[in-house]
Amino acid sequence: MSVQSLEEKWHDLLSLMRKKCNPVEYRNWWSPVEIDPEKEVPTLLVPNVFVSEYLLHHYREELGQHFGITRKGKPAISFSVRERVCPKPKSSPPPRRSGSSVGPVPFGQEVMLNKGYTFDNFIEGPSNRFIKSACIGVASGSGCSYNPLLIHGGVGLGKTHLLHGIGHALRERPERIGFQCITTEGFINQLISHLREKSIDKMKRYFRNLDVLLVDDIQFLENRPNFEDEFCNTFETLINQNKQIVITSDKPPGQLKLSERMVARMECGLVAHIGMPDLETRVAILQHKAEQRGFTLSQKVAFYIADHLFNNVRQMEGVINRLGAQRSLMDREMTEGVIDDALGDLLRPGNRSRISIDRILTTVALAFDVSEQDLCGPKRARKILTARQIAMYLAKELLNESLSKTASAFGGKTHSTLLHAWKKISLALKNDDKLRRRVQKTRQNIEA
Ligand code: ADP
Ligand code: MG
């Protein structure tokens, strides 16, 4: 197969995809990709691994039809991650700068950004590296950005931090960028007050003239169809003009109770999950936060704390604040006992009535690296089954509910399944020290 014919195939595929995809999809997933003219086997140059995974997952058939299929039934292509910044797609006009007509300040208010939530203060690790670079891409307008960009993940994992990080970086751009960073609640409140004052057109004009819209906690639109409609109109107007939108959510779009129109719109762009940082990153975050508070945390102490807390970063920050407040402790040797004293109830069992099945599922999913859907689903792969049984064990131990009610929370399982899981894990805990420590730590995080 000659290089020329590979390039032709690629251009054929691009023309087909241009017709098949909507413009947003095409811009996100096909425009940034090129074929490597140097390679004899079809090799697609992609801006990051995520794009290759997305293409393989969503366009397998089309790729296979153009480049053939391997014996394993996969498209016969390779991917290579390109280092350089990808060019802006020719089809998309440069974003309009609203500085001259509409400033970034709405109705006399400043855009409220948390001072500390900058990219520099956001510690990077495997769980958030990709999403951080996507946010930097968006903020720099490098053309490698994705539109819309949706960041989802549990509470206290850095979604708002990254959103504000984009805001800070936009402010530093030499040209004036009209942007707004708003919580969904803030959007709704503004909508209500402008409806009341009959100045809704002014609000619409303002939002629809922005260059970049940053929206925090979109889940607050759930079950509010009227507000959702208005938001969706704004969203579509901006996207259709090629303006950047970034949204955070506590769950993936498909799990949000929003209209199909809204979900489909959000799924067109880059949907990226932010997870709990791994142990090393947690250590680095603790040390960074301590430094910001003006004290140093030794590796050993940081490891001890990071090893015990893995629910969310905000909780870790709480620990640093406490240690900071008890600075005299720093003069004493940091034994585990001293730290346990300082951490107090963060590491000790708390009020049981606060514990919910959702909290158990979120914590077990994080601790055992499976998804919450899998904990409640039918899959029986070993890793998933064990995590599910541990979640069932902890639910039986920690919730004051009937067995049937607790079991039904696991995707409608029966009380005998729950009891079986509880017996199995109880027995395993007697014989397996490592498992006992892991379950104990998970339990502490649920109770903290
Ligand atoms: P979310 O919006 O996901 O609930 P936040 O963005 O409010 O979480 O983050 C909670 C706290 O944790 C913030 O103070 C934030 O600075 C901090 N945080 C989260 N992730 C990181 C990180 N990777 N590096 C530094 N701080 C972080
Ligand atoms: Mg938040």
Q: For residue range 236-272, list pLDDT tens digits in order.
A: 999 888 899 999 999 889 889 999 999 988 988 888 8
Q: Could you tell me the maximum CA-CA distance found in the chain, to the nearest angstrom?
A: 72
Q: Report pLDDT for 335.
A: 67
Q: Is residue 374 pLDDT above 60, yes or no?
A: yes
- Closest residue CA from atom 23 of ligand 1: 123
Q: Report pLDDT for 331.
A: 58
Least confident of 50-54, 218-222, 252-256: 50-54
Least confident of 46-55, 149-158, 245-254, 357-366: 46-55
Q: Report pLDDT for 102.
A: 37
Q: Which of 123, 150, 157, 161 to mutate to test the pocket of ligand 1 (most atoms within 8 A of CB)?
A: 161
Distances (CA, A) of 355 to 161, 283, 376: 26, 27, 18
Q: Is residue 97 pLDDT above 70, yes or no?
A: no
Q: Is residue 133 pLDDT above 60, yes or no?
A: yes
Is cis: bond before 47, omega within 30 of 0? no
Compute the distance between CA of residue 122 and CA of residue 317 in angstroms, rounded to an integer: 13
In the structure, what pLDDT confidence band is assigned to residue 91 with cuts at 50, 70 and 90? Answer: very low
Q: Report pLDDT for 325.
A: 76
Query: DSSP of 269-289, one letter per residue?
Result: SEEEE-----HHHHHHHHHHH
List helix spans (H) across 219-369: 225-240, 260-267, 279-292, 299-308, 313-325, 336-343, 357-367
Distance 117 CA to ligand 1 centre (A): 8
**% of residues, the chain, pLDDT over 70:** 85
Instruction: Output 106 or 48, whichever has higher pLDDT.
Output: 48
Q: Report pLDDT for 345.
A: 63
Q: State the average pLDDT for the chain.
A: 84
Tokens of 33: 């990709």
- Closest residue CA from atom 20 of ligand 1: 158
Question: Is the Cα torsion angle 121, 125, 128, 132 positive or negative in sign?
Answer: positive
Instruction: Supply the Cα-derived Rg of the chain in whole angstroms.
Output: 25
Q: Report pLDDT for 185.
A: 92
Start-to-end Cα distance in the chain = 61
Q: Report pLDDT for 118.
A: 97
Compute the distance between CA of residue 386 and CA of residue 129 in angstroms, rounded to an integer: 28
In the structure, what pLDDT confidence band is assigned to residue 180 with cuts at 50, 70 and 90? Answer: very high
Q: Is residue 52 pLDDT above 90, yes or no?
A: no
Q: Report pLDDT for 73.
A: 86
Distance 314 CA to ligand 1 centre (A): 6
Q: Count the alpha carbons within 13 Å of 118 in the hemisphere toward its beta carbon.
A: 8
Cβ 301 vs Cβ 336: under 8 Å: no
Tokens of 446: 């649920």
Q: Report pLDDT for 88.
A: 39
Q: Which residues line ligand 1 (CB under 6 A)?
A: 117, 121-123, 128, 155-161, 277, 285, 313-314, 317
Distance 15 CA to ligand 1 centre (A): 42
Q: Is residue 172 pLDDT above 70, yes or no?
A: yes
pTM value surpassing 0.85: no
Compute the distance between CA of residue 211 and CA of residue 138 in angstroms, rounded to an integer: 11
pLDDT (mean) for 226-231 = 91
pLDDT (mean) for 13-39 = 86
In the structure, what pLDDT confidence band is assigned to residue 353 with cuts at 50, 70 and 90? Answer: low
In the structure, what pLDDT confidence band is assigned to residue 115 with cuts at 50, 70 and 90? Answer: very high
